[in-house]
């Protein structure tokens, strides 16, 4: 080991590049700082900055007539949010819809992913994967409007159910949950599929050999091992559903979710501060959700 | 540590930037309508065109042939004046107000629920009507109205007007209704198939119905509601909600809902009724006996317009008889220019849309922004302002 950097040798004029390299070599903190500065800047300015600006705006108020934002500190927005019964109802409804979508997605995605990863022949797997991904190729609005036509009074669903004497749900919250489930299903299937693929087949065989039935194997072997994947998938479906306001606008009938309240307050009422205050609700809900997932240890295993 | 400090620095920066954006004009006068009007002079004379003009408008107000080749009054304007038109379509009055605040636009086609807010906010200047020759032919019933003038000073050029009508599917609704009670008190007959306009301004529709249904409430103007009257209207809408299938704000959505039968009765615009009929669905429309809410649009010029001369040229162009007729026919509304009726391709158009029928429009209460000072002239009561209308609308939808 020479121990000495070339710049310290006497009589040898070092180029700027060399000197910089030496500096970086001697000071690991500077090295780390430079390496991380670009992503850090992105994180702080674009991401946290936007969140911070939103939070700041939430403490302002709007002159409702001229629409000018009054930049004096006030708790009024949060007070209105907290005391208004309607906002609690809407927040709870949004969480319920997001939870419903997540549960439905899980119920459909798990068997599908299991079939893809463990039952189907390996050479079919890429094709099945492509089949799961195809809906993502179509535009979001096209898919939702297609569902609007399907769910219409004279639509496909009522036509198909007609002979059975049944009727579709029509526009409303049920329709919203249904369409959101359809939209976000791939985001649940993919992580579970990856999780199951990593699960060695031999474990399933061993469980069977030791006398565990199918259900017990699922519960004691498969479920714990793919739990992190399920948690990851549920983070996607839950957060995507919680923020959605277009689907409910198109197939939700007279229903409204938290996203609509935010949208209406920006678009219709021009009340940016109140919209910002409302927008903190899903942020808080998601933080709680992520904290809960983290407690189960699922995040560490990802 | 580094992150924290950066965050603080950013916070300080953003605060600085935001506070720098504030401020406004110092001088102002009272409008006599309960708000201050900034003193902004009207343009004195017209100069040469600036080569372009940026406008905010409702869909269908600045057609350049891209929707229908035969519907084009933008290109002829550009050819004649040398002003290139950059049009920005807004979906709601509130969006228009927000867009005008950016200061990037020269003119706007504001409805009555936006115009006063623009005036009070100092975003628009009075209009020198002498510089708009075609103003002379505008129906007298549209000039110097509370939503387009302050104390006799015109703030814009009337564009056209229309009413929010009651529409129903003739095959699903047995007897043709002639009253708004069909969607309010008797709405349960069409439970789940009633539709209503998705905007706080719809509260005025309920208030309008209460004017005749509950005269003891003493509502004189559906946009001037004191707390008691307002609560009654909100209660009526909450009761109506049980029968509502969906609220509409996107007109294509309403066309489809009526076609499929998801909606069978509710409020509409004439243009929607025409589109539904074109889809071979039988619908009827009526201006109910209680009257109706409606809109009357005004072209206004931005206070800090970068292209004021082109903006004035556009104002004169859009209300010129031929173009005004084209716009009115395309959008489905009554034209503002009295000479436009001779220029429509459908000669009965002005009769269908009651263009000169002041008796018809006397039953129409045009959209106006509700403010704390009662618009109906009451001084002993305090009215509910638009902010509370907005919050109440969220509550009604629940």
Q: How far is A148 from chain B (nearest CA, A)?
A: 9
Asked if the model's pLDDT at residue B3 lies above 50, the reply is no
Enumerate the domain spans of chain B. 33-162+296-358, 165-268+370-397
Most confident listed range (A93-102, B242-251, B276-285): A93-102
Confidence of residue B27 (pLDDT cuts 50, 70, 90): low
Confidence of residue B234 (pLDDT cuts 50, 70, 90): very high
On the 0-12 / 13-18 / 19+ scale of CB atoms within 10 A, B134 is: buried
Rounded distance, CA B283 to CA A278, Å? 40
Asked whether residue A134 is domain-assigned, the answer is yes
Rounded distance, CA A274 to CA A277, Å? 5
Q: How far is A136 from chain B (nearest CA, A)?
A: 24
Domain covering B33-162+296-358 in this structure, CATH number: 3.40.190.10
Asked if the model's pLDDT at residue B316 lies above 70, the reply is yes
Write down the architecture of domain B165-268+370-397 according to CATH: 3-Layer(aba) Sandwich (3.40)
pLDDT attached to residue A302: 56
Rounded distance, CA B66 to CA B322, Å? 19
Q: Which letter, b or e, does each residue of B276-315 get, where b requires 16 or more Cβ atoms within 10 Å of its Cβ?
A: beeeebebbbebbebbbbbbbbbbbbbbebebbbbbbbbb
Asked if the model's pLDDT at residue B15 lies above 50, the reply is no
Inter-chain CB proximity A45 and B398 less than 8 Å: no
Strand, helix or coil for residue B64: strand
Asked whether residue A185 is domain-assigned, the answer is yes
Q: Find where tokens 């959505």 sit.
A: B253
Q: What's A138's domain CATH number? A: 1.10.3720.10
Q: Which of A62, A63, A64, A246 to mutate to test the interface with B (most CBs of B within 10 A)?
A: A64
Rounded distance, CA A70 to CA A66, Å? 11
Total of domains in chain A = 1
Lowest mean pLDDT among A200-204, B238-242, B249-253, B266-270: B249-253
Q: How many CA atoms lie within 13 A of B370 on its CB side?
A: 25
Q: How far is A83 from chain B (nearest CA, A)?
A: 12
Asked whether residue A103 is domain-assigned, the answer is yes
On the 0-12 / 13-18 / 19+ scale of CB atoms within 10 A, B64 is: middle
Instruction: State whether residue A213 sits within 8 Å of chain B by CB.
Output: no
Inter-chain CB proximity A52 and B200 less than 8 Å: no
Q: Find where tokens 């809410």 sit.
A: B293
CB contacts < 8 Å between A and B, how many?
A: 117
Model confidence pLDDT, tens digit, residues B58-78? 888 998 888 778 889 999 999
Inter-chain CB proximity B91 and A267 less than 8 Å: yes
pLDDT attached to residue A278: 92
Instruction: State whether residue A254 sits within 8 Å of chain B by CB.
Output: yes
Query: Above pLDDT 70, what percent of chain B?
Result: 91
Confidence of residue B368 (pLDDT cuts 50, 70, 90): confident
Asked whether residue A280 is domain-assigned, the answer is yes
Model confidence pLDDT, tens digit, residues A172-231? 999 999 999 999 999 999 999 999 998 998 998 999 899 888 889 988 889 888 998 999
Asked whether residue A29 is domain-assigned, the answer is no
Rounded distance, CA A190 to CA A196, Å? 10
* Cα separation values, A40 from A47, A54, B2, B6, Å: 10, 20, 10, 10
Asked whether residue A222 is domain-assigned, the answer is yes
| pTM, entire model | 0.76
- Pick A260 or B251 by higher pLDDT: A260
Summarize the confidence of residues A22-44 as an average pLDDT: 86
Asked if the model's pLDDT at residue B291 lies above 80, the reply is yes
Confidence of residue A33 (pLDDT cuts 50, 70, 90): confident
pLDDT attached to residue B30: 61
Put simply, the chain A residues between 74 and 93 with a CB less than 8 A from any chain B CB are 80, 84, 86-87, 89-90
| Domain assignment of residue A262, given as a range | 87-301
pLDDT attached to residue B231: 96
Q: How far is B45 from chain A (nearest CA, A)?
A: 29
- B19 vs A contacts (CB less than 8 Å): 71
């Amino acid at each position: 080991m020479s121990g000495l950097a070339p710049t310290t040798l006497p009589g040898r004029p070092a180029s700027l590049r060399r000197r910089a390299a030496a500096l970086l070599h001697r000071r690991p903190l500077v090295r780390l700082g430079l390496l991380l500065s670009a992503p850090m800047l992105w994180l702080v300015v674009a991401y946290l900055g936007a969140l911070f600006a939103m939070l700041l705006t939430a403490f302002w108020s709007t002159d409702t007539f001229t629409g000018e934002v009054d930049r004096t500190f006030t708790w009024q927005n949060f007070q209105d949010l907290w005391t208004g019964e309607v906002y609690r109802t809407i927040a709870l409804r949004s969480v319920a819809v997001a939870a419903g979508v997540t549960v439905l997605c899980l119920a459909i995605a798990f068997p599908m992913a299991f079939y893809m990863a463990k039952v189907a022949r390996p050479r079919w797997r890429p094709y099945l994967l492509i089949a799961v991904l195809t809906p993502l190729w179509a535009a979001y609005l096209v898919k939702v409007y297609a569902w609007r036509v399907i769910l219409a009074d004279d639509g496909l669903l009522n036509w198909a159910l007609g002979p059975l004497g049944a009727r579709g749900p029509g526009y409303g919250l049920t329709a919203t949950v249904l369409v959101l489930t359809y939209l976000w299903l791939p985001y649940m299937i993919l992580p579970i599929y990856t999780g199951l693929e990593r699960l060695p087949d031999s474990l399933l065989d061993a469980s069977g050999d030791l006398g565990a039935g199918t259900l017990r194997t699922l519960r004691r072997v498969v479920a714990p091992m793919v739990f992190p994947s399920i948690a990851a998938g549920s983070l996607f479906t839950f957060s995507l559903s919680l923020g959605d306001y277009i689907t409910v606008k198109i197939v939700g009938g007279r229903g409204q979710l938290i996203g609509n309240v935010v949208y209406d307050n920006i678009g219709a009422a021009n009340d940016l501060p109140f919209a910002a205050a409302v927008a903190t609700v899903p942020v808080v809900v998601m933080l709680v959700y992520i904290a809960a997932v983290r407690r189960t240890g699922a995040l560490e295993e990802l | 540590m580094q992150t924290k400090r950066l965050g603080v620095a950013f916070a300080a920066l953003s605060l600085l930037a935001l506070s720098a954006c504030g401020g406004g004009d110092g001088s102002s006068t009272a409008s006599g309508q309960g708000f201050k009007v900034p003193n902004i002079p009207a343009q004195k004379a017209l100069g040469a065109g600036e080569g372009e003009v940026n406008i905010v408008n409702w869909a269908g107000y600045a057609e350049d042939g891209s929707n229908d080749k035969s519907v084009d009054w933008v290109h002829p304007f550009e050819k004649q004046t040398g002003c290139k038109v950059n049009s920005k379509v807004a979906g709601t009055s509130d969006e228009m107000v927000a867009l005008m605040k950016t200061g990037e636009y020269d003119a706007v086609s504001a409805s009555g629920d936006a115009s006063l807010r623009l005036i009070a906010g100092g975003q628009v200047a009075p209009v020198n009507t002498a510089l708009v020759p075609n103003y002379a032919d505008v129906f007298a019933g549209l000039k110097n109205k509370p939503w387009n003038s302050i104390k006799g000073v015109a703030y814009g050029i009337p564009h056209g007007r229309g009413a929010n009508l009651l529409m129903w599917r003739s095959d699903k609704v047995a007897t043709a209704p002639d009253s708004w009670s069909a969607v309010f008190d008797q709405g349960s007959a069409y439970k789940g198939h009633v539709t209503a306009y998705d905007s706080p301004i719809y509260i005025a529709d309920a208030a309008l119905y209460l004017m005749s249904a509950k005269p003891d409430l003493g509502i004189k103007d559906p946009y001037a509601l004191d707390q008691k009257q307002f609560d009654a209207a909100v209660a009526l809408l909450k009761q109506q909600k049980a029968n509502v299938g969906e609220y509409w704000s996107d007109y294509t959505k309403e066309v489809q809902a009526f076609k499929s039968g998801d909606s069978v009765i509710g409020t509409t615009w004439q243009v929607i009724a025409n589109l539904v009929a074109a889809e071979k669905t039988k619908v009827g429309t009526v201006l109910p006996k209680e009257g109706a809410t409606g809109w009357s649009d005004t072209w206004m010029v931005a206070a800090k317009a970068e292209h004021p001369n082109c903006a004035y040229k556009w104002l004169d162009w859009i209300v010129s008889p031929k173009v005004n007729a084209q716009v009115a026919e395309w959008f489905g509304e009554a034209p503002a220019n009295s000479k436009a009726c001779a220029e429509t391709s459908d000669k009965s158009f002005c009769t269908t849309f009651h263009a000169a029928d002041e008796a018809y429009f006397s039953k129409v209460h045009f959209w106006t922004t509700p403010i704390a000072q009662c618009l109906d002239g009451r001084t002993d009561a305090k009215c509910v302002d638009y902010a509370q209308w907005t919050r109440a609308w969220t509550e009604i939808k629940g």
